[in-house]
Structure 1
Amino acid sequence: MWKSGLLAVLAAFSFSPAMAGPAGPDEFEQGVGTMWEVLWHQSGTPTRLVRWEQEIRVRIHGVHLQQHKAHTLQAVLDVAAEAGVKVTDVSDRPDAAQTANLSIEITPDNMLEANQPCVTFLNFMTETRIESAAVQMRSKDAWRCAYHEAMHVMGVRGHPAGKTVLSYFPSRVDGLMPLDKVMLRGWYSPRMRGGMTPFEVLPILADELVASLPDKVQAAQSKDRFFARTIGEMQAFADGKGDVPFILKRSGKTTEDGIRFGRMEMSYFLGVAYMEGTTVAQDPSQAVRWLQRAATMGSRTAAQRLSGASR
């Protein structure tokens, strides 16, 4: 999954038998549960936030462009508009291949794997800022893939259940759903910064969701319950007693290495959460406990954090 130096993160729209898990008790819990699942790579590893900090220069090329280009470009324009990121179409420029930092190729139908009709690669030097991205979509699947992959292009990497075009079985493929718009606005809000951990990201996404709902009091109460439950579940996961989110198991794409790395990362993320008081109340002793666990499991970042804290 991870490569040294330039990182390429696979975000594939794979039609496996992944079905939504049990619905939450209210609209907020369903929405925030979907947002939490978005923060996981399908291998079983929680991810940090990455996003564009520059203009997107998109090149759309390949086969059957007359049929697919307008819809594909509109998907990119729609997600970027919600995020507040400028997009320029450079497809027709002579130097498009050199100018573009987002390449979208419509491929022949015999390309890509049978169960992987479209795929996005995000390239970044560190897991903070997207430097460039590349998308491939089979011609016969380009229409249904466009908005799904456009969300991945913006840095939203997970494949959650719920009412989103990121779902393996979205209920809409010709435009963004309300929850997608909420996620993008939160992802690119001024409160976010590249490299934030899931426990730093989650409260900001949750606040954006609360603001979008009519019953904000009930949503705020649900938020507190969700945070408490999630912290408990993630402590169990990091300790090796709990599991990854339901949708990841159902996708069939989790790996032993991904989950093992995920437990180490989650231990580090818990340490940061307790140290900074994000999603959970600040607790220095718990912070040290989880950072030490992550360091013992091989996290150099956790070891550096502990070293800095002891000075």
Structure 2
Amino acid sequence: MWKSGLAAFLAAAAIGPAFAQADEFEQGMGTMWEVLWHQSGTPTRLVRWEQDIKVRVFGINLATHKQHTLQAIRDVANEAGVKVIDVSDRPDAAQVANVSIEITPDAMLEENQPCVTYLNFQTETRIDSAAMQMRNKDAFRCAYHEAMHVMGVRGHPAGKTVLSYFPTKVDGLFPLDKAMLRAWYSPRMRGGMTPFEVLPVLADELVGSMPDRDKAAAGRDRFFSRTIEQMQAFADGKGDVPMIVKRSGKSTEEGIRFGRMEMSYFLGIAYLEGATVPQDPSQAVRWLQRAANLGSRTAAARLGAATAR
């Protein structure tokens, strides 16, 4: 696997920088899409902070890990434009913190899950609080990965991102991470947006970072078309979740079934609003009806409103 990856890199270098740029953009778009998927096999809505982050770091070996952990939180929040307040030393820290980060003994978490973040929200729109745990021996390499999750970015995509299962950088953010956070917290975003509403904002941020924006924009449009085709097949029960989700080993039959229902609803909203695809009321009704048939009450309500017009 390593040899084939090296061969592809050398081939791209031999063909020239234009190919390399196109390949970089394609990989970036794939990462942007994969980040919108939960490991269970379900596409997710956008959630983010709408308040200051009050963080408490506690647990063992804080002299080694506290500053690096706080720096990770501050770095991601800075890209998002969210204020971070360290309340760790306050006597009432446990009560006032809305982000709790615990450095745990190594035996406390499983070997295949050395760090974990739980996001708490009453509705899938804004984050109310978050709790992170990292094993002592893994806290340094986990900090930036979990800090991205704290900001609401829940996927584990492949590519040059600290969200990858095996990131090559653990002491800071990649450019792609920064682009994701800037887009995630841009004025164009709002809590609860569907993947097809989110994807164009993420893509525009990536296009803006490319030297040749016209070529990148053409690549974006091709990616949108291909992704819509693949997701229609997935929603219809004929396609599959992104390969990175399958490779995670954490996708479940229940998650994928729920994902097909959600994706049907998301396609309906996309066609209803013209998000990622041209507006098409008949396609919107088709996909909302499928989602409703699969058990989505939200889709049934939107379907009723759409057909009543």
Task: Specify the TM-score bucket, using the shorter chain as the normaliser.
Answer: over 0.9
TM-score normalized by the length of structure 2? 0.93
Of the candidates 129, 132, 135, which is equivalent to residue 129 of structure 2?
Answer: 132
- Aligned residue in 2 for 1:173: 170
- Aligned residue in 2 for 1:195: 192
- Are 2:244 and 1:224 equivalent residues in the alignment? no
The one-letter code matched in structure 1 to 2:172 is G
The alpha-carbon deviation at position 171 of structure 1 amounts to: 1.1
Using the alignment, how far apart are the partners of 1:270 and 1:309 within structure 2? 14
- Are 2:203 and 1:206 equivalent residues in the alignment? yes
- Are 2:92 and 1:95 equivalent residues in the alignment? yes
- Aligned residue in 2 for 1:5: none
Could you say which structure has the greater relative contact order, defined with CA pairs below 8 angstroms and 6 or more residues apart? 1
Using the alignment, how far apart are the partners of 2:226 and 2:174 within structure 1? 27
Q: Which string of whole-angstrom CA distances, capped at 9 and with x for unpartnered residues, describes residues 104-141 of structure 1?
A: 00001111111110000000000000000000000000
Higher Rg of the two aligned structures: 2
Using the alignment, how far apart are the partners of 1:86 and 1:213 within structure 2? 29
Using the alignment, how far apart are the partners of 1:95 and 1:250 within structure 2? 42
Q: Which string of whole-angstrom CA distances, capped at 9 and with x for unpartnered residues, describes residues 248-282 of structure 1?
A: 11111110000000000000000000000000011
Using the alignment, how far apart are the partners of 1:163 and 1:145 within structure 2? 15
Using the alignment, how far apart are the partners of 1:27 and 1:67 within structure 2? 36
- Are 2:264 and 1:267 equivalent residues in the alignment? yes
Q: Which string of whole-angstrom CA distances, capped at 9 and with x for unpartnered residues, describes residues 122-165 of structure 1?
A: 00000000000000000000000000000000000000000000
Using the alignment, how far apart are the partners of 2:265 and 2:249 within structure 1? 26
Using the alignment, how far apart are the partners of 1:29 and 1:53 within structure 2? 31
The alpha-carbon deviation at position 229 of structure 1 amounts to: 0.2
Using the alignment, how far apart are the partners of 2:306 and 2:273 within structure 1? 12
- Aligned residue in 2 for 1:279: 276
Of the candidates 142, 146, 152, which is equivalent to residue 139 of structure 2?
Answer: 142
The alpha-carbon deviation at position 63 of structure 1 amounts to: 0.2
The one-letter code matched in structure 2 to 1:69 is K
The one-letter code matched in structure 1 to 2:251 is T
Q: Map of 1:65-104 to 2, 5 A cutoff?
A: 65-104=62-101
TM-score normalized by the length of structure 1? 0.92
Using the alignment, how far apart are the partners of 1:172 and 1:291 within structure 2? 42
Q: Give secondary structure in 2 for the equivalent of 1:41.
A: coil
- Aligned residue in 2 for 1:10: none
CA-based RMSD? 1.2
- Aligned residue in 2 for 1:15: none
Q: Which string of whole-angstrom CA distances, capped at 9 and with x for unpartnered residues, describes residues 172-207 of structure 1?
A: 011000000000000000000000000000000000
- Aligned residue in 2 for 1:6: none
The alpha-carbon deviation at position 32 of structure 1 amounts to: 1.1
Using the alignment, how far apart are the partners of 1:139 and 1:259 within structure 2? 33
Using the alignment, how far apart are the partners of 1:207 and 1:310 within structure 2? 32
- Aligned residue in 1 for 2:106: 109
The answer to which structure has the higher helix fraction is 2
Using the alignment, how far apart are the partners of 1:35 and 1:143 within structure 2? 25
Of the candidates 132, 139, 157, which is equivalent to residue 160 of structure 1?
Answer: 157
CA contact (8 A) 2:285 2:306 kept: no
The alpha-carbon deviation at position 310 of structure 1 amounts to: 2.6
Q: Which string of whole-angstrom CA distances, capped at 9 and with x for unpartnered residues, describes residues 14-54 of structure 1?
A: xxxxxx9x999522111011010000000000000000000
Of the candidates 29, 39, 42, which is equivalent to residue 42 of structure 1?
Answer: 39
Of the candidates 250, 263, 282, which is equivalent to residue 253 of structure 1?
Answer: 250
Q: Give secondary structure in 1 for the equivalent of 2:111.
A: coil
The one-letter code matched in structure 2 to 1:297 is L
Q: Give secondary structure in 2 for the equivalent of 1:191.
A: coil
Using the alignment, how far apart are the partners of 1:72 and 1:29 within structure 2? 32
The one-letter code matched in structure 2 to 1:305 is R
- Aligned residue in 2 for 1:54: 51
- Unaligned regions of 5+ residues in structure 2, if any? 10-19
Q: Which moved more, 1:224-233 or 1:105-114?
A: 105-114
Using the alignment, how far apart are the partners of 1:274 and 1:109 within structure 2? 48
Q: Give secondary structure in 1 for the equivalent of 2:124.
A: coil
Q: Which string of whole-angstrom CA distances, capped at 9 and with x for unpartnered residues, describes residues 196-226 of structure 1?
A: 0000000000000111111111100000000
Q: Give secondary structure in 2 for the equivalent of 1:46.
A: coil
The one-letter code matched in structure 2 to 1:169 is F
